[in-house]
Structure 1
Amino acid sequence: MIDVRRALLGHPRVVDAGVVVAAAGLTLFVVRVQQSGLHVYPQLSSGALLTSLLPISWRPSQTALIPLLACAALFWRKRHPVVLALVLVALSVVWPVVVPLLVALFTVAATRPLRTTLMVTVVALLPVPAQFVRASYSGPLISATAVSAVAFVGGAVGWGLYVAGVRERAERAERDADLRAEQARQHAREEIAREMHDVLAHRLTLLSVHAGALEFHPTASPAQVAEAAGVIRQSAGQALEDLQDVLRVLRTPTVNAHTEPPQPAVADMDRLVEESRAAGATVEVHRDTEDLATMDPTTSRAVYRILQEALTNHRKHAPDGPLRLSLTGGAREGLTVTARNPVPRERTARPEGAGQGLVGMNERAVLAGGSMRRTLTATEFALEIWLPWTR
């Protein structure tokens, strides 16, 4: 079925021509009613209240000519609606241009600010009191004409204001939809950035540690060199696999979520710790929690990424000191993760872009409904993250 409304909206000139034709037809009817001597509503609008009161005799052809030209002017009603409405108000005191006047008032109300609409409406109603000043026939007819004038003008303006309100709500809804879409895209970009940072930073830091060990130990035995090279190759391969997993998850539609590859969880933290220890880091773990496998997968992955980033930061900024990790809590009080390490005696300059890991950790905590607090003293750097234990 053809959507007539949508088809017409795509051809505004056709709509304007239809308005002109319809207004012309109604105007001819109004002119005929007036010429027949029926003066219950002499001009069906406040804009033409004085037509039958002026001592001028018009021939039928002359009476209809100006109103029809006024209808033709409606073709440009959207460009200059205020000017057109004011001109028609002036013409209406002599010619029966009530129909194009009402259309012009509707256009003003639908397309112009409320203040402008009110001013034009007041001008359009000025002939109402003028009728009582110039009237020479019975009072009831004057009153009926005044009532019809206010009713028609009020109806046209009210309808225009309603249309303006509908359009404004539609535009606001469209803006809100665009804003939500942009926020969703921004959220997706941030999620990609966090995943990329956590995965690549962890693996590349391991590569850097092992490559540095080869560089600073040129006298290492062939067996040690082979072992370090094997670890580097394994870490590089694991980095590629992790990156492919991240990209696969991000590309997988939600409707096919059951086909997604398994996601890292906090239960895999032992593997993370062993990788860091194999790279030469000293990591102490204290755990006093309920079964971590009962945690919601989304929260569990957030905890895993937070621990991964804590280990990465330790290797990058304080590799010579121990890292103390603590996990405590349960379903009732939530999970508290604490990471502490001594501050190096000699602090290196912060590289460009440093600090993104802490930003990502805080974002993950907040998105999971938790919070993060960091403390830096002269001797110790500490992170404390709290997350709700959702099942």
Structure 2
Amino acid sequence: MERDGGGCASARGMAILAVAGTVLVTLTIIGRASGGVALLPLDIIVGVLACTLLPLLLRWPIAAAVALALLAAVSPAATPPSNIATLHIARSRPVALAVGAGLFGLAAHAVQGLLHPTPGLSYGWWLVLVLVTHAALVAWGAFTRARRALLESLRERARRAEEEQAQRVAAARAHERTLIAREMHDVLAHRLSLVAASAGALEYRPDAPPEQLAKVAGVVRAGVHQALEELREVIGVLRADGTDPTADAPQPTLTDLPALLDESRAAGVVLDVDNWVTDPSSTPEGTGRSAYRIIQEGLTNARKHAPGRPVHVQVDGGPGDGLLIDIRNLLPDQPPNSPPGSGTGLVGLAERAQLAGGRLGHGVTPDGEFRLHAALPWPG
């Protein structure tokens, strides 16, 4: 489409130049006739041929320019079309071709000055006038071509900048959605695993005392309620446009660890906790948030893959020493029928730890324990 538009513009411009050239040829012929020049028939024939050749500049610019220059050497009636051809080549072709066309036109008009000298003007000044004219035509055409190329380059840069900006915005949105999806996995998987563990206790112990059944049912009800609240918060983040600073709820950090441990104990998990961090509130926000999510995911995996087995959680560290997290649990002899999951929890934790400037590892120890350990930065 751009090429067609450029062709239409060139055609319109050439039509205007053809009309202008015809007018100039007519005026030249009239001027020479009024001066008593006897070669009027030759001027008319050359002028008609020159006007006929002007439209050919669109398809064969070099050949048409050469033909017009040869006609200009025979008669001054072809001078306006020849100059138009030189200007057209300078505007549409490289500088080397433009200079060549200008020199050829200069040579043709030098011959014209010998064949048809201008009264009252010496041949030397004629050459100077012709040289200045063709130099101006080549310079003007080259400047116009360079300006057009610059404008096209600026438009292309603006278009690319808009496309790159759109790509950056799309990448930022995709990254943010990935973070939100990971957060949803961490939060809801933990909460729903608590509900699943409590519901399993109701299923396998229907003969339990009513007080215990009521307590477990209360844990299930509270867990489902909290899961719905957290899901509502995540959906609120997805819907928010980022302009309301109060739209994002504060994320849990290491100071919220006791509540997390109490929830797991209420669901029947046997926990052995060694928390040597004396002041959790002094933990950097990013480190504390990552530590909370790592411990939350570790407890979730322990409930899913080793139900009923005790879990040992150790947290240690301080300013300048970093924060160390170690979670261990014995693996069962037979893998349980765990609730379905995406299988990307540990991958997300590793990415979270890496983004925080730390590292995370996991695997089975020689003692048959599954170990999840992480080291996070804690600047001094």
**Fold shared by both chains (TM-score > 0.5):** yes
- 1:127 maps to what in 2? 101
Unaligned runs of 5+ in 2: 30-40, 69-77, 114-123
CA–CA distance in structure 2, aligned partners of residues 334 and 56 of structure 1 = 99
- 1:380 maps to amino acid: E
What do the CA deviations read for 1:275-311 (whole angstroms, capped 9, x no partner)?
1122222222222335221334444333322221111
1:360 and 1:101, CA in 2 relative to 1: closer, same or farther beyond 3 A? farther
CA–CA distance in structure 1, aligned partners of residues 206 and 263 of structure 2 = 23
1:223 and 1:175, CA in 2 relative to 1: closer, same or farther beyond 3 A? same
Answer yes or no: is the 8 Å Cα contact 2:219–2:266 preserved in 1.
no
Aligned ranges for residues 13-24 of structure 1 at < 5 Å? 20=12, 24=16
Answer yes or no: is the 8 Å Cα contact 1:27–1:99 preserved in 2.
no
Whether 1:57 and 2:43 are equivalent positions in the alignment is yes
Structure 2 counterpart SS, 1:257: coil
1:353 and 1:163, CA in 2 relative to 1: closer, same or farther beyond 3 A? farther
| Cα-Cα RMSD | 4.2
Larger mean Cα displacement after TM superposition, 255-264 or 189-198: 255-264
Structure 2 counterpart SS, 1:332: coil
1:150 and 1:186, CA in 2 relative to 1: closer, same or farther beyond 3 A? same
Whether 1:91 and 2:64 are equivalent positions in the alignment is yes
1:105 and 1:141, CA in 2 relative to 1: closer, same or farther beyond 3 A? closer
Equivalent in 229, 242, 259 of residue 254 of structure 1: 242
Alpha-carbon offset, residue 233 of structure 1? 1.3
Alpha-carbon offset, residue 164 of structure 1? 2.7
CA–CA distance in structure 2, aligned partners of residues 104 and 295 of structure 1 = 73
Unaligned runs of 5+ in 1: 1-11, 38-54, 74-83, 109-116
Alpha-carbon offset, residue 208 of structure 1? 1.1
Structure 2 counterpart SS, 1:374: strand
1:174 and 1:276, CA in 2 relative to 1: closer, same or farther beyond 3 A? same
Answer yes or no: is the 8 Å Cα contact 2:331–2:370 preserved in 1.
yes
- 1:80 maps to what in 2? none
Whether 1:321 and 2:309 are equivalent positions in the alignment is yes
- 2:201 maps to what in 1? 213
| RCO higher in structure (CA 8 A, sep ≥6) | 1
Larger mean Cα displacement after TM superposition, 88-97 or 154-163: 88-97
Answer yes or no: is the 8 Å Cα contact 1:85–1:101 preserved in 2.
no
Alpha-carbon offset, residue 20 of structure 1? 3.8
Alpha-carbon offset, residue 348 of structure 1? 5.4
Alpha-carbon offset, residue 193 of structure 1? 1.0
1:329 and 1:100, CA in 2 relative to 1: closer, same or farther beyond 3 A? farther
Equivalent in 254, 278, 283 of residue 266 of structure 2: 278
CA–CA distance in structure 2, aligned partners of residues 104 and 130 of structure 1 = 12
Answer yes or no: is the 8 Å Cα contact 2:314–2:325 preserved in 1.
yes
1:149 and 1:100, CA in 2 relative to 1: closer, same or farther beyond 3 A? closer
Alpha-carbon offset, residue 179 of structure 1? 1.0
What do the CA deviations read for 1:249-277 (whole angstroms, capped 9, x no partner)?
44344332146444322211111111112
Alpha-carbon offset, residue 36 of structure 1? 6.2
Structure 1 counterpart SS, 2:244: helix
What do the CA deviations read for 1:112-146 (whole angstroms, capped 9, x no partner)?
xxxxx75xx65555424534665425554564455
What do the CA deviations read for 1:86-111 (whole angstroms, capped 9, x no partner)?
534433341627668867876x6xxx
Answer yes or no: is the 8 Å Cα contact 2:315–2:325 preserved in 1.
yes
Answer yes or no: is the 8 Å Cα contact 1:23–1:100 preserved in 2.
no
- 1:383 maps to what in 2? 372
1:104 and 1:196, CA in 2 relative to 1: closer, same or farther beyond 3 A? farther
What do the CA deviations read for 1:303-338 (whole angstroms, capped 9, x no partner)?
322221111111111234332322233333432323
- 2:322 maps to what in 1? 334
- 1:173 maps to amino acid: A
Equivalent in 200, 207, 210 of residue 222 of structure 1: 210
What do the CA deviations read for 1:216-240 (whole angstroms, capped 9, x no partner)?
2233233332222222112111211
- 2:203 maps to amino acid: E
- 1:175 maps to amino acid: E
CA–CA distance in structure 2, aligned partners of residues 123 and 264 of structure 1 = 72
Whether 1:371 and 2:376 are equivalent positions in the alignment is no
CA–CA distance in structure 2, aligned partners of residues 88 and 146 of structure 1 = 17
What do the CA deviations read for 1:26-64 (whole angstroms, capped 9, x no partner)?
973896499669xxxxxxxxxxxxxxxxx9624898589
- 2:60 maps to amino acid: V
- 1:28 maps to amino acid: A
1:353 and 1:211, CA in 2 relative to 1: closer, same or farther beyond 3 A? closer
CA–CA distance in structure 1, aligned partners of residues 246 and 190 of structure 2 = 27
Structure 1 counterpart SS, 2:245: helix
- 2:20 maps to amino acid: L
Greater Rg by CA? 2
Answer yes or no: is the 8 Å Cα contact 2:83–2:134 preserved in 1.
no
- 1:28 maps to what in 2? 20
- 2:376 maps to amino acid: L
Answer yes or no: is the 8 Å Cα contact 1:89–1:101 preserved in 2.
no
- 2:171 maps to what in 1? 183
